[in-house]
């Protein structure tokens, strides 16, 4: 037989700070608009301090266990009362490793022909969202996320030669993505020079990262060859990925983290300002004027897996590949950074006569770094979008089959023209 369970943990917190602020009298006083009264420095400071309006989030974690070779039966809700198996914890979705208990109670078949895989799955998703209003007409929306998936599988069966159960060919694979900021280098290479300064920094960072890794690993000798520490050559994955992250984040490679999985999701943002219609000249022409700016950036490890030969001694990796580099704990196939300004700057207006117009300048950058062939591809994209529109109600068709027919709902005309340089 085989047994399988699954559990989902989900949290959806929402914090409305406006409701909290309204419980204090001073907040109501400083938010009342009075054109005859001057705002004091203290009130301005309090408004800025209390500009955070709300925070919401969503955290979901799905986990599951599949155990083959299971000998007991099932009676009620999956429980075998004769064997007291598989335990209330497993029935309630516990993800504690059940194998030791199963072996101790004789729940697993010793048949060496049992070849199904024992599997653990884990998938977590974290999404955060917040709103800040530092000025009356300025709205900043913050978003952050982190997604991680891991699957562990092994052929857990009886080994006749050893006379014991063992894990044959255990492997962990998965994917990883997190919100990220690479803003410092977004405009660095915008010149006619074909030589990328950020890429040159990436190459130079390798020596710095290599020496730091060599210092931390007691299994690496003190030997430095061509600027690189023993076991951490210029094409070692453990050297390449942190050097890549540091260069394109614009950070100092001597101080940046050596982890290839950035743990903390960094907020991205979208800004909207709609206060220009308060100017008399603008209010005479336009019903609304919105100025927008948005930035999103993502770091992805498209897929990773463990290596069977990987092992540790003295608290660090001690096994090397054919190039004498230490094996990474997780082998990557590709890492990517995708960054976009949508828009870098945008203006959206609605005139008194229901004519609308919008103008946007967009910019994006995609970096795909293939670890297996040590090749980095960069794609830049710039676009200008110009749009016009018109909204009318009770539209009457002037010609054709429907001539004279009047629509009772609104009709929106929209024309967008884009010029893109890729």
- Residue 51 is predicted with a pLDDT of 86
pLDDT at 149 over 90: yes
Q: Tell me the per-residue pLDDT of 334-384, one tens digit each, with 9 for 90 and over.
A: 999 999 999 999 999 999 888 999 999 999 999 999 998 889 999 999 999
Query: DSSP of 116-159, one letter per residue?
Result: PPEEEEEEEEEEEEEEEEEETTEEEEEEEEEEEEEEEEEEEEEE
Give the predicted TM-score (pTM) of the model.
Answer: 0.87
Span 73-124, pLDDT tens digits: 998 889 999 999 999 999 999 999 999 999 999 999 999 888 999 999 999 9
Of the candidates 386, 388, 381, 396, the one whose C-alpha atom is nearest the C-alpha of residue 415 is: 388
Mean pLDDT calculated for residue range 145-173: 92
CA pair distance 292, 398, nearest whole angstrom: 37
DSSP-derived letter for residue 184 is G
For every residue of 18-61, DSSP letters joined together read HHHHTTSHHHHHHHS--TTSPPPHHHHHHHHHT-EEEEEEEEEE
pLDDT in tens, 260-280: 999 999 999 999 999 998 888
Instruction: Give the model's pLDDT for residue 224.
Output: 86
Q: How far apart are CA 151 and CA 134, in angstroms?
A: 44
């Amino acid at each position: 037989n085989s047994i399988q369970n699954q559990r989902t943990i989900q949290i959806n917190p929402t914090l409305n700070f406006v409701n909290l602020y309204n419980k204090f009298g001073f907040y109501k006083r400083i938010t009342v608009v009075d054109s005859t009264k001057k705002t004091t420095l203290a009130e301005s400071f309090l408004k800025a301090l209390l500009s955070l309006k709300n925070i919401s989030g969503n955290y979901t974690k799905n986990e599951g266990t599949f155990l083959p070779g299971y000998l007991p039966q099932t009676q009620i809700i999956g429980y075998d009362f004769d064997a007291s198996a598989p335990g209330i914890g497993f029935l309630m979705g516990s993800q504690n490793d059940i194998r030791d208990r199963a072996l101790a109670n004789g729940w697993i078949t010793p048949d060496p022909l049992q070849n199904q895989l024992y599997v653990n799955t884990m998938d977590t998703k974290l999404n955060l969202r917040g709103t800040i209003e530092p000025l009356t007409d300025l709205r900043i929306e913050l978003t952050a996320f982190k997604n991680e998936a891991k699957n562990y599988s092994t052929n857990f069966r009886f080994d006749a030669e050893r006379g014991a159960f063992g894990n044959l060919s255990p492997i962990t694979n998965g994917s990883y993505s997190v919100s990220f900021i690479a803003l410092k280098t977004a405009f660095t290479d915008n010149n006619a020079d074909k030589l990328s300064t950020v890429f040159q920094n990436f190459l130079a960072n390798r020596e710095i990262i290599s020496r730091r890794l060599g210092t931390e690993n007691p299994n690496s000798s003190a030997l430095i060859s061509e600027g690189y520490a023993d076991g951490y050559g210029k094409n070692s994955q453990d050297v390449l990925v942190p050097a890549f992250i540091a260069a394109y984040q614009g950070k100092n490679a001597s101080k940046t983290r050596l982890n290839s999985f950035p743990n903390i999701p960094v907020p991205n943002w979208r800004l909207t300002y709609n206060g220009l219609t308060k100017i008399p000249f603008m209010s005479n022409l336009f019903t609304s004027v919105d100025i927008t700016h948005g930035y999103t950036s993502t770091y992805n490890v498209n897929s990773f897996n463990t290596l069977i030969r990987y092992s540790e001694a003295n608290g660090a990796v001690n096994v090397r590949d054919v190039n004498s580099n230490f094996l990474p704990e997780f082998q990557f196939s590709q890492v990517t950074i995708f960054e976009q300004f949508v828009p870098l700057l945008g203006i959206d207006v609605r005139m008194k006569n229901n004519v609308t117009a919008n103008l946007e300048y967009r910019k994006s950058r995609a970096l795909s770094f293939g670890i297996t062939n040590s090749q980095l591809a960069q794609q830049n994209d710039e676009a200008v979008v110009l749009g016009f529109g018109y909204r009318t109600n009770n539209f009457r068709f002037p010609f054709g089959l429907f001539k004279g027919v009047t629509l009772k709902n609104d009709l929106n005309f929209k024309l967008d023209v884009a010029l893109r340089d890729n």
